Amino acid sequence: MKRLIPALALMALAAACGTGMQAAGEDAAASLDYCHGQVCRSLAQLRGDSAIDYTMMPRNMLETDTVWNCRKAVKEEWCAGFWPGVLWYDYEHTRDDSIRAEAERFTESLEFLSQTPAFDHDLGFLVFCSYGNGYRLTHNPRYKEVILATADTLASLYNPTAGTILSWPRNIEMLGGHNTIMDNMINLEMLFWAAKNGGSHRLYDIAQKHAETTMLNQFRPDYSCYHVAVYDTITGKLDHCQNHQGLADGSMWARGQAWAIYGYTMVYRETNNKKFLDFAQKVADVYLARLPEDMIPYWDFDDPTIPGAPRDASAACVVASALIELSGYVDQAKGESYLADARKMLATLAGDDYRCGASKPAFLRHSVGNMPANYEIDASIIYADYYYIEALTRLKRLGKGEPVTEYYAKYN
């Protein structure tokens, strides 16, 4: 199957898979119904006996918790955009106006991010997961204004000498220079979108250059990635690469590799440059080759305590979502393989081992936040839930013969 444009390719894949994709869409819809029930339970919990504080965002629940640990939506809290994003995806599935109203209230509490200097690179996570999904579903012109302003703010962290966006300004001294982390690949989507929706073309150029520089410097010969690349602040030359949240500098940290798979799939969609498609496949294939049978990675593929090491459901959710999209950009045989792998991941996550069910109102258990810091180990974490509901939404759309994201229709 030749790739023409993303929407047509993905719909052609769905047609080739026939009734199997229809069944997958029905399975996805049933899982989305489960998510809706958990969303309603979460909202009831957040409301309690009084009104909801829309500046407090669900962040995590440890394995023994039954109540969301919430964080104030401040610029230092990088996860604050995921809960509004979950609500927007739930609204997309249910068309429940009460869910939309809650999504709007939580989203609008983040407007301040478009009006303050950049604290770090996470503005894409914060604003595009919230305002981006909100604009996609409502076309509220104010949401577009917030996204465009925030994209300009994110671009202020770009260092043209290094060719990347500075991820952690607060860690320049600790890490030894201009630092770029793999997570930053996801935040490029907001820059691409802004450049195509009224913003400066410079935002597109920054995003593409960042992806190219990261591709050149932040991967090992086997296409596994380092979490962090550090560049000389003055000359822009690469100084060193290291792991920050992985086991060791030479190990493959599962969520870091997941960000790479998702990021380069998205960059190919936005640029239509085949070098990014080839690279997305390479970083996906090394990850897939090392997965355990149930398709859920250990937090780091090189942890010597495997099989006793913790799993990371959040990485599985990110990759499942990415593979559903990537499946439409490659030849039919490989596309079907990627799609089958994504469905296996989602099937495992739908089982009793990973679903929270009645025990707590999150979607999933068994994610790992930061193992070296001993933080969020074996927890329910909001970004796992976000990418889980996104993956299910994409699978549902594909089962209906639709592009996996509505942005394709705009871009093509």
122 among known catalytic residues: yes
DSSP-assigned letter for residue 358: G
Alpha-carbon gap, residue 71 to 56, rounded angstroms: 5
**CB neighbours of residue 235 within 10 Å:** 12
The pair phi, psi for residue 229, each rounded to 5°, is -115, 135
Q: Are 306 and 290 in contact (CB under 8 A)?
A: no
Residue 210 to residue 3: CA distance in whole angstroms: 25
Cα separation, 287 vs 298, whole angstroms = 11
Is position 183 annotated as part of the catalytic site? yes
Residue among 183, 303, 312, 341 flagged as catalytic: 183
Catalytic residue among 120, 122, 300, 341: 122
> Residue ranges of the alpha helices (H) in 156-253?
172-175, 184-196, 201-217
How many C-beta neighbours within 10 Å does residue 202 have?
13
Euclidean distance between CA atoms 80 and 231, whole angstroms:
29
Angstrom distance (rounded) from CA 21 to CA 153: 41
Report the Cα 10 to chain-centroid distance in Å: 20
Give the separation between CA 412 and CA 409, rounded to whole angstroms.
6
Among all residues, which ones are annotated catalytic? 122, 183
